[in-house]
Structure 1
């Protein structure tokens, strides 16, 4: 710093001093402390203990710990962030610093204080402080009055009436359009009947239609749409006849022999055959589903009759059915997942691939094995003949009887379980009784005032406690009370009276000395280190924060202050090594 001040800024002379020493000298002049004593300064970054002998600091007896008010604030910030992670952004450094200065204190015995909060006693509640974060309550909705309900009902009625009128107008417009279109098609068919056969293609080219069948098909669609728009019921017989006629017209090439068809017509015939087969397949599937639905309804009626005849017997049979199905489904699931020792040869409990195969897979393996053995006697000619490829057709069949079984059993189990839930109030399904069900998602609730409250309980005394136990934050150094004993031992005086004079004039200065309970806790800690009956007197500086500046200002205003400074010329003449032995004298 001397090099910076002299060579960069060109100051004429400088003097150095220690803030804790300035504060001690200022309070000594005010009669707060004696010439022999200790200055304890828990500052912002570090904590110092400086012994004074005959009014001058003895720096060889100083003791320092790298813990101060900064670490207390940082520790409190960490604790609050862990306790309330959803309010992390609220814990700014400035706000936590204010909370520390306003609410933190030094406990006389931290272990007793912690047990007090652990038990949740009434005293702990009294020592807990609450910090209310900004919170705006949600607006409360008042129930609507009868006049408001009637007004809204009238509005809804008017809106409904308007919508009905719009729908009726749209329906009338659509009916008019369909009637006009139907009249146009009727007129077109009438005109087509009067046209000669040779003039039909030229007549149709002007109308935009390709054939008479297309006009009749459009006429049928418009008639059906008009009937639907008017809400008239369908004539099933007419519709069936028209469907049959349209089917015959749609697949007109199917019944014609291939000999008399052109190549283009043959391709069209193949397309018609494919489309017809798919259409018939869909019809068969629809019919099958309809029959299955009828069969299901018939079984339900039979079961209902059995239940009415003997409800107790029916319920007992239903329970037995449920037990049998559940065991079967569980066994099938185990076989699917882990396999099973079904052949008796697997003594070690391991499961081979063949034991996990279903019936379809085993059949495929059998076919492949048979083909391999049959063809393995000589040259491999498999695939040379057309019938060899029938093997792949057999392998590609979806023979999933074993696969379909578990699905049918599970569906039947679900049906029986639902039936038991309806009939037996004491029945509990196995899925609900087990512990493997996923937990329900937490229900959201509106935030209240309590959700924006920060409670300071044990943190009030736990954070400043690191001044006496720095190892809590990973600093392996002495605490504030131990530092006094270390400083006295470093002086090396054997006179007990001298140690008594030091401990009878201990001055607390620095910002962190403002915690409530600091003097009492420090006195009890030093008393445990000193012999029984030792005199211990601790005083707090008049202004622990500003007394260091006031002492330095008073020191600089003395007439002999220039004797404690060194000039720029001394620096260039004696060098920077001379500064290392610089010792300011605070008594001028």
Structure 2
């Protein structure tokens, strides 16, 4: 009962289905290993095809069918033998190449590393050039995209070949040379070419060898690291933090990590750009009107051309001029506007509210607890110094 329950828990109905699934998986594993060349094939008897040497006139109808089947079996057998020989030759060539590389690395490790570094640099430059071309093709007005369109136009304007060719006449030999197919890779920008896949595989192999045997080659020199390096200046002055995994048992092992450095965020934004968010909230991803638009929408209703700037940010150098510059284009030409900064921007707002709190008018601007519970904290009472939007 327990076995049947476990079989049903795995999504199978019976033991027969379990056995068939196991057999199928075993066959798949054997096929995959044979394809990769990890295991030697079991020796099999040499097949015989006795009917192939007998003329068709001497065979009956059933024998002729068997003879055709033996022809197919023989062709498949010969193809497998050829593939096995090619695989064996490739394996021997790979072993010879590995032995030759081992001897070269043992006898001259510096020269071996320099050679691999040179090959690595050539491949990286080749991939960067290909990425640059892809970026250029995305621009409709770029030279690369124009050349691509010219190639497409030339292919479309070629005269179709005649169906009936005269003997000895001109024939279409397109495709005889492998370079002919480069035109399709040139005009097709959506699919990666097989050359690029081969380059990436070769690059990964070179980097694995250099990381294993060349102490001067670090993960920072890999193509992935170079590709994601956005700013050379930022990376030049950024501390090199330990990228090891965080120790799950602190104090019990020697493995460690700079936790403070891993959680530190480095910014390359100049200080003067921080106040610009007040005028252009979109730069910070905020969908709201800027300070200039808000002020320009209030001035016509107040019939006053003076903007009073207070608060700590008012001490920012150039704030008064910046407010005037962003408000002026949004107002009528005949309406004057002047920005004035408070004498003590950091405390004047507090002093003014403190004085207003001591007046009787302050009580009319307050909201009661019942009003807060009904409207929430986003609604305020309408008074002369408050924001009338969404007020009651």
Same fold (TM over 0.5): no
Please give the range of the TM-score, normalised by the shorter of the 2 chains: 0.3 to 0.5
Structure with larger RCO (C-alpha < 8 A, sep 6+): 1
TM-score (norm 2): 0.36
Q: Which structure dedicates a bigger proportion of its chain to strand?
A: 1
TM-score (norm 1): 0.25
